[in-house]
């Protein structure tokens, strides 16, 4: 789709998985001579990257809400803020010539749908979360039937499954990533923390949130270190927000690390912007989510680097990778099971290499960025031509 004015909406200004996906889409569409503008809650890492590709950013007072289940006060605050966001978006759509609105997150869906319905503007949803029940599913099911919504992009089959009544609008498009050039292994972490060449590095990467469940890795690390000495563990990432409640889980992880007396055998790196270089320093990446992750970008990024991956057996990652062929799965919450999977890899370097090579080949063939963007372009063309 070329030479259109497309307005994107996102509920975050950071660079988590959904925002990386958004940036890739905006970058591609800008290069296709489309006029792309993005509405965000505030300036941040995402807006910096967007402005570097000449995509103008606009800021709406969307508010801040915890990830996962919302408190009554948060839900009430969102409802009270909703009319203002509808009015702001309606005014913008009436003032500017916008061919298509692209809502990249569930918190933007209700006000985007109302505003686009009132202004007769085509709308696309991109669902990055799993809403199998509860108020979020009810809201999506209700608003998803509005005529202004032309396509709904779901990042995995498990994401699309709760919305059978909207099946005619849904395109299932798994995320895609750029295949890095062959630059060899990075030794960034070993250099930064003075780690010897013969040590094996195992880590997880992502925001520190309860459902991401990094404590599985900490407990498994304690078990593995009782069996092996030349290994080091890393928790890469930080709390999404900096207030006290958002840091509670991080504090819980640090306390657990201290209780298990892991000391410098497990290192918290904090937030890192050069995530590919950091992950390329690892030998094994662990994904510990205890709730289904719709389509974790980190799994695709790690696989594109040729890393061996051990993941909880939930969510979209099970649609992409096969157990014992290009990944190892474990039961979330079972740190002994995770430790046994890691132990299997620690004792078998050939298995590490085989899993990494198989996963990388799968990304190269099926989940590279060009394949992903071609599918997105097809979906948007259908949306505009409906």
N- to C-terminal Cα separation, the chain = 13
pLDDT of residue 2 exceeding 80: no
Confidence at residue 241, expressed as pLDDT on a 0 to 100 scale? 62
| Greater model confidence, 75 or 108 | 108
Residue 182 lies inside a defined structural domain of this protein: no
Mean predicted confidence (pLDDT) in 357-384: 94
- In terms of Cα–Cα distance, which of 154, 129, 173 is closest to 291? 129
Residue 181 lies inside a defined structural domain of this protein: no
Cβ-proximal residues to 310 (8 Å cutoff; 6+ apart), any chain: 284, 285, 286, 287, 327, 328, 329, 330, 338, 341, 342, 345
Query: Are 135 and 256 within one domain?
Result: no
| Greater model confidence, 268 or 134 | 268
Confidence at residue 183, expressed as pLDDT on a 0 to 100 scale? 64
Distance CA 153, CA 69 (A): 23
Query: Are 200 and 104 within one domain?
Result: no
CATH number at residue 268: 3.40.50.2000
Query: Are 333 and 375 within one domain?
Result: no
Contact 226, 261 (CB under 8 A): no
Q: How many domains does the chain have?
A: 2
Distance CA 136, CA 380 (A): 24
Q: pTM for this structure?
A: 0.89
Contact 6, 29 (CB under 8 A): yes
Query: Are 16 and 87 within one domain?
Result: yes
Burial 57-93 (b: 16+ CB within 10 A, else e): beebebeeeebeebeeeeeeebeeeeeebbebbbebb
Confidence at residue 67, expressed as pLDDT on a 0 to 100 scale? 64
Cβ-proximal residues to 146 (8 Å cutoff; 6+ apart), any chain: 113, 116, 117, 123
Query: Are 324 and 348 within one domain?
Result: yes
């Amino acid at each position: 789709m070329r030479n259109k004015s497309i307005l994107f909406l996102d509920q975050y200004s950071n660079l988590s998985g959904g925002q990386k996906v958004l940036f890739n889409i905006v970058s591609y569409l800008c290069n296709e001579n489309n006029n792309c503008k993005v509405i965000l809650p505030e300036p941040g890492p995402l807006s910096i990257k967007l402005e570097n590709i000449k995509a103008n950013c606009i800021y709406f007072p969307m508010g801040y809400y915890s990830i996962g289940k919302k408190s009554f006060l948060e839900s009430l605050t969102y409802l009270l803020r909703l009319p203002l966001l509808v009015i702001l978006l309606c005014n913008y759509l009436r003032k500017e010539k916008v061919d298509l609105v692209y809502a990249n997150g569930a918190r933007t869906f209700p006000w985007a749908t109302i505003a686009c319905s009132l202004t007769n503007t085509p709308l696309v949803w991109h669902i990055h979360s799993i809403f199998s029940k509860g108020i979020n599913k009810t809201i999506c099911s209700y608003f998803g039937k509005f005529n202004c919504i032309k396509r709904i992009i779901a990042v995995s089959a498990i994401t699309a499954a709760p919305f059978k009544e909207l099946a005619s609008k849904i395109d299932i498009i798994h995320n895609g990533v750029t295949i890095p050039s062959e630059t060899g292994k990075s030794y960034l972490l070993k250099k930064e923390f003075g780690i010897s060449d013969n040590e094996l590095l195992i880590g997880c990467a992502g925001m520190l949130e309860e459902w991401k469940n990094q404590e599985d890795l900490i407990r498994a690390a304690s078990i593995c270190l009782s069996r092996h000495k030349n290994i080091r563990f890393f928790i890469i990432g930080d709390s999404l927000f900096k207030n006290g409640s958002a840091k509670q889980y991080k504090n819980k992880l640090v306390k657990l690390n201290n209780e298990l007396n892991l000391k410098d055998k497990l290192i918290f790196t904090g937030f890192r912007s050069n995530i590919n270089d950091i992950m390329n320093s690892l030998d094994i990446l662990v994904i510990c989510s205890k709730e289904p992750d719709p389509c974790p970008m980190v799994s695709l990024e790690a696989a594109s680097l040729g890393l061996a991956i051990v993941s909880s057996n939930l969510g979209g990652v099970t649609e992409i990778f096969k157990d014992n062929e290009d990944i190892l799965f474990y039961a979330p919450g079972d740190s002994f099971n995770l430790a046994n999977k890691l132990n299997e890899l620690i004792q078998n370097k050939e298995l590490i290499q085989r899993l990494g090579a198989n996963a990388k080949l799968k990304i190269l063939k099926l989940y590279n960025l060009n394949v992903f963007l071609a599918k997105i372009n097809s979906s948007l063309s259908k949306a505009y031509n409906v």
